[in-house]
Amino acid sequence: MCKVISVVNQKGGVGKTTTTVNVGIGLAREGKKVLLIDADPQGSLTASLGYEEPDDLRITLATIMMDVINEEEISLEDGILHHQENVDLLPANIELSALEVTMGNVMSREMIMKEYIDAIRSRYDYILIDCMPSLGMMTINALVSSDSVLIPVQAAYLPVKGLQQLIKTILTVKKRLNRKLAIEGILLTMVDFRTNYARDIASRVHTTYGSQIEVFENVIPMSVKAAETSAEGKSIYMHCPKGKVAEAYKNLTQEVLKNEK
C-alpha cells in the first residue's frame, strides 16, 4: 500500500524542500520505493536533487497535469527522473505557475493531480509532494491527492496565525474533498538548541497543538550542513552522514515509518 504525504506550509523558507529530500531519501534507505513530486514552480526540489536547470526539462508535473486536463493518454514513465540515491522524481519548473492560472476554468480543478497520483501510486510505497509556499490551487490539488500532511515549521518564531490558516484549509479539504486526509505531524525545523528561545517554542507548539495535532518528537537542528546539501544535489546522508542533521532526519524517517499507513 502506498502512502502519499504532502509537505505543506504556505510560509516560505521553513524547510519543506529540505525535508522532502531527506525524508524521501531516508525512506528509500529503509528499502522503500519512493517518488518525490515537485509541486512548486520554483523547482527547488528538482534543483536540489541535481537538476540545476529545471526550466530546460521537457516533461514536468505541469505537462502531466495538462495531459490530464486534456484527457490525453499518459504513460506512467513520462517525466520520471531517477536520482542516484534511489528515489524517483517528477520535476517541476516555471510552467507550473502558468498551469495554476489555466486551472481556474477547468472542471473539477481540485482533482487533476489526484487523477495522476491514483494511476501511479501502486508503483510506490511512499509518494512525497513538495508544495509551494501558498495555499493556492496547486497546493489544494496536492492535499486532495494525499493521505496525510507533514507541516514543517521554522522554530525561529511560532507563526500561530499562519498555522491556524493552514490547519483550517486542511480541515476544509478534508471535509469537502478528501475525507481520509490526516495530519502526519508538525515538524520543528532549524532549531537552535543553544537558545532557550528555541526550547520555549518547541514547548509552545506542544501546548498549542499537541493534543489536537501530532508534533514529531524529533526536531531538525539548525546547521549550515543542511543548507549546503541543496547546492550539492544530494541528501544530508551523503553530504554529512555523521552530523546531527543526518541523525535527526534519520530518526524522523523512523517516526514516519511508525505512523500507520
Interface residue list for ligand ATP (CB under 6 A): 12-18, 40, 44, 133, 189-190, 220, 222-223, 226-227, 230, 245
Name which of 75 and 254 has its Cβ closer to ligand ATP: 254
| 136 contact, one of ligand ATP, Mg ion, none, CB 5-8 Å limit per kind | none
Instruction: Give the residues lining the site for Mg ion (CB under 5 A).
Output: 16-17, 44
Closer residue to Mg ion (CB): 22 or 115: 22
| Nearest distance in Å: CB 171, ligand ATP | 22
For ligand ATP, which is the closer residue by CB, 2 or 113?
A: 113
Residue 220 interacts with which of Mg ion, ligand ATP, none, CB < 5 to 8 Å by class: ligand ATP
Residue 186 grid cell? 508538525
Residue 119 binding target from Mg ion, ligand ATP, none, CB below 5 to 8 Å by type: none
Q: How far is the CB of 260 from ligand ATP (least distance, A)?
A: 26
Question: Rounded to the nearest whole angstrom, what is the least distance from the CB of residue 55 to ligand ATP in the complex?
Answer: 17
- CB closer to ligand ATP, 113 vs 153: 153
CB of residue 41 to ligand ATP, shortest distance in Å? 10
**Nearest distance, CB of residue 212 and ligand ATP, angstroms:** 23
Select the binding partner of residue 231 from Mg ion, ligand ATP, none (C-beta < 5 to 8 A, by kind).
none
Going by C-alpha positions, the residue among 147, 165, 202, 138 that lies closest to residue 11 is: 165
Residue 50 binding: pick among Mg ion, ligand ATP, none (C-beta 5-8 Å cut-off by kind): none
d(CA 24, CA 80): 15
Residue among 52 and 77 whose Cβ is closer to ligand ATP? 52
Please choose which of ligand ATP, Mg ion, none residue 18 contacts, taking the beta carbon within 5 to 8 angstroms, the exact cut-off set by kind. Answer: ligand ATP
Least distance to ligand ATP, CB of residue 248, Å: 8
The grid coordinates of residue 65 equal: 497535469
CB-nearer residue toward ligand ATP: 124 or 249: 249
- Tell me, what amino acid is at 217? E
What string of DSSP letters covers the chain?
--EEEEE--SSTTSSHHHHHHHHHHHHHHTT--EEEEEE-TT-HHHHHTT---GGG-SS-HHHHHHHHHTT----TTTT-EE-TTSEEEE---THHHHHHHHGGGSTTGGGHHHHHHHHHGGG-SEEEEEE-SS-SHHHHHHHHH-SEEEEEEETTS--HHHHHHHHHHHHHHHHHT-TT-EEEEEEEESB-TTSHHHHHHHHHHHHHHTTTS-B-S--PBP-HHHHHHHHHTS-HHHHSTTSHHHHHHHHHHHHHHHS--
Based on CB atoms, which residue is closest to Mg ion, 16 or 83?
16
Closest to 36 measured CA to CA, from 129, 115, 124: 129
